[in-house]
Structure formats: structure tokens, C-alpha cells
Structure 1
């Protein structure tokens, strides 16, 4: 069996996946999290070199983990392999994050690497159905947020939304769910609303699977929310023990539904 590599962005997830077994860490220059501690440092403009470095290390299996962002491409640094892929990647970028990520996965698969999801390596981190902390409660605001996410999913918009008192208070966009929660805190404090996090319909869960950690709980509490609803089997719990402690400290219910 070949080696595994984690293509790491920012946040706790790369470290949690490394705990699942031996793995090399790959970091891209310019991405969140920096390159400290990387076994392989790569550039987006030199994918051919990355493919060669992975093969030289015996890597056959990859997992993408952590927050990443789109970066400008320095065309003067392109290697021949990336130059050939550039029209394809440029077209995918124009179709949204899901299309871009699917295309990146397809490129690595075409090079012979198997792409695995974080939920496959750490199934213990996947949100189970029912109460995770406090009560699992039917909630009209949560149902409204779910409906909005279902409608916007085909447009590649957001994995999270907030509803309160029958109104939509926030929808995740490019700025991310933390920015959305800060917006809700500024514009609708004390709503006692609900944050809903779900995968987009048809989303490839091997990349960009929704995740929640203690920081999100703290931001939800600061926004005056009363609970958080997740999609069972489709959201990762980053540090479940700390997540439960944060919910207890802030008095928030956390539950998951299909």
C-alpha cells in the first residue's frame, strides 16, 4: 500500500486527519496556514512538480483538508503540465467553487492518485443524527434556512444560513460562515435564531465538506442565536469534546437532521 498525503489548508482539520495514521503534509505557498511543518511545499503554478514530488514519496492516496482560498496565478512560473491545464482550470473557476474543486479532484485522479474524503479517514468526526448537545428540536426557523439553502445550492451559494423570528438573517457567501455570523451579530442581535449548516445538493464530500468547531459556536452565541442545526452525515465536528463544552458554556442546542 502506498503512502498518503494531506493537502492542507488552514484550521484544525489537517491535524485531526494526520492523527488517523501516517501521512505526508503538502502545503501550497500563499494558502492560509502557511508552509511551516510541511513535508512538501508546492506552488499552484507548478502542479507537474507536485505530481513528481508525490510519486517520489510513494504517495498513492490524497486528502484535501482545511480552509483554502483562490490565489492569483503567476503565468511566468507555469510548468508545462500546469500550462496545459490552465484553460481547463480557468473555465472551472468561472463556474464556482464546486466546479473548480471537482475539476481539481479529476486532475489528481487522472494522474493516478486516489482522492479520499476527511469523513472516510475520520468517520468518528461526522455529525450523527439527533441531539449532539442539549435538545434536538423541530424548529420553524431551521426549516426556513434549510429551504433557502436547498434553493441556492444549485447556484453554488453557501453551506450555511441563519434564520430567526421567521426572517432570513444571513446567508453564507464567499466571505464564509464566520463573516456571516458577525454580520448577524451586528444587524439582528438577540434574535434567538438558528444557524443551519448543510452540504450543497450533489456536493462531492471528499472536498470542502462543511465543518463546525468551538469558534463557530462562540460566534453563534455572540450573534444571539439559540441553536445550531447540522446535516447528519454531511458535517464534520472539529474536536467534538470542545464543541460540546462550547455549547454548554454558551447555552446553545446542537443537533443534526437528515
Structure 2
């Protein structure tokens, strides 16, 4: 049985090392990170939904990156993790500071013509050029990923294993186009691909597919795109994903071992069993 990873004994957090800043978006992941690193400096951009307490958050405009970098240094921050859902920034050129003005040509080019991977790679390079170390949530919370094997629920059927292989081929083919991190396949037929709308929208779409057009129950496969920087854009699966997959009539959810974040991981094995949903991690 594939087990959720355990934090190694004595693993260090910000209390024993350089201070961490959490640049937070929506969802539970920033909350988990803040719990694991209580001394972290918490940052979120204005207008970004965030579940962290507003009293602890420092809000910045994306157009004021220079001020953000100065504040991070003043707070003794050396490490940065970006976590949670964030919309693409919309630059208001009337608000930009000197730092963003210098970066504007690269930022505008990335926002105008590149996919999410390209934008995120640019942001990482900017942070690293400013002297910060960018880390992934999985490096701080290694227990949030899974080793290969069954996580919960029943074993994969023979049909499901074939669908997993087909979904891997589809995702591998689409990876250079920077489209998405998920795919649903039933009896070898693609029922849907995750796009910018996200996994929940994909599963709703699949669930609305008429029975006569569905050759089987189907499998959701979640995996990062080839070359994706997992420090800033690792796929995630949580209770909502499992419930939505079951509601869509799927028989299994399969994730890339070690490369997909498990939100509320300890609850997922029992939930998968309750839903009758095969939940497995495989090498992809």
C-alpha cells in the first residue's frame, strides 16, 4: 500500500533556519504551511482571496514588487514559498514602482504571450535574482505527497489500469502546449482534459456527459506537465477532488507519485474507501 510520506525526525523548519515567507493565494495549502512554519512572514497580493488571518497578512500590490522585496529583506526573509490559487496579475502601469518598471518588458511579454508555466518561471527567476531561495510546499511538508501504491479505496481494475496508461499518453502529448494537469479517460476514450478552469470544472463536465456517450466509468489522472517547476505549480488533490470524481461516476483517481500535493492527506484514504473510489499513486 502506498503510504503518505512521513516527516523525517528532526526535520528543520524556519525556527531553526533562515526565515521563510509564504506568498499566499487561496485554498488550504497556505494555512498548512503557516501552521508548519509559525515564524513565517505572510504575504498576499491585494485582491487575492486568502484563508490566512488578515491580521497576520501583509498585503502588497503586484506593481510594487520593489517595496515587497525591501520589506522581505527587512523581515530577515531568505526563503520563499508560493502557495495557493492565484490569478494572473493585471498590471496597472500607473501604479508601478521603479523595480517593476525595469521588469515591465519581460513581465508584459510573459503575461501577454506565455502560458502559466512561462509566467511562473519568470517570477521564480526574478525572486532568485533578488537573492531569495524559492522552495516548494512539498519540500517544507514532504508528508503531503504519496509514494507509489494504493492510498485508499479498492484496487485498480484492469480496465482502470489501461485508462491510466492512455491518460498518461494524452497528458504527455499535451504537455508542450501548457494546457493542464488532469485528464479523464474511460475505456480508452478521453472524456475531458483539464484546462484553465481547473479540475472541478473538468469533473462537472464529465459528470454531465450522457450515459450513452460514456463507454465506461473512467479514471481521473493528475500529474505535472513535463518540465513544470514543482516549486511553484505542483498539482493538488484533496477531499473536494475525490467527492467530485465520485459524483462524476468515476471509478478511480490516480496521481503521480511524489509529484502531487495531497490536501488534508490523512483524511483521504478513509474518504476514498467511503466513496468506493480507487485512489492510487503511480510513477508517471
Partner Cα distance (1:172, 1:37) in 2: 35
- After superposing on structure 2, the runs of 4+ consecutive aligned residues of structure 1 that deviate more than 3 Å are 188-191
Tell me which residue corresponds to 1:65: 83
CA displacement, residues 139-178 of structure 1 (integer Å, 9 cap, x when unaligned): 1111111110000111111000101122101101111111
Give the match for residue 135 of structure 2.
116
Distance (Å, rounded) in 2 between the aligned partners of 1:34 and 1:16 = 11
Q: CA RMSD in A?
A: 1.5
Segments of 5+ residues of structure 1 without an aligned counterpart are: none
Report the number of matched residues. Answer: 258
For the residues of structure 2 that align with 1:237 and 1:71, how far apart are their CA atoms? 26
Distance between the aligned counterparts of 2:250 and 2:281, measured in 1?
Answer: 16
Matching residue of 2:173: 151
* Contact 1:60/1:114 (8 A) holds in 2: yes
Give the match for residue 226 of structure 1: 251
- Please give the alpha-carbon distance, in whole angstroms, between the structure 1 residues aligned to 2:109 and 2:278: 42
TM-score by length of 2: 0.87
Matched, 1:126 2:145: yes
- Relative to 1, partners in 2 of residues 1:92 and 1:136: Cα closer, same or farther, differing over 3 Å? farther
Specify the alignment match of 1:170 in structure 2. 192
Q: Partners in 2 of 1:86 and 1:145 — Cα distance?
A: 38
Q: Return closer, same or farther for 1:188/1:128 CA change in 2, 3 Å cut-off.
A: farther
Report the CA distance between 1:188 and its aligned residue: 4.6
Q: Tell me, what secondary structure is at the counterpart of 2:59?
A: strand
- The aligned counterpart of 1:100 is 119
Q: Distance in 2 between matches of 1:52 and 1:135?
A: 52
**TM-score where L is the length of structure 1:** 0.95
Residues 1:24 and 2:49 are matched in the alignment: no
What's the CA shift for 1:135?
Answer: 4.0
Taking the aligned partners of 2:195 and 2:147, their CA distance within structure 1 comes to: 26
Q: Which stretch has the larger CA shift, 116-125 or 71-80?
A: 71-80
- In 1, the alpha carbon distance for the partners of 2:41 and 2:172 equals 36
Structure 1 residue 30: Cα displacement: 1.5
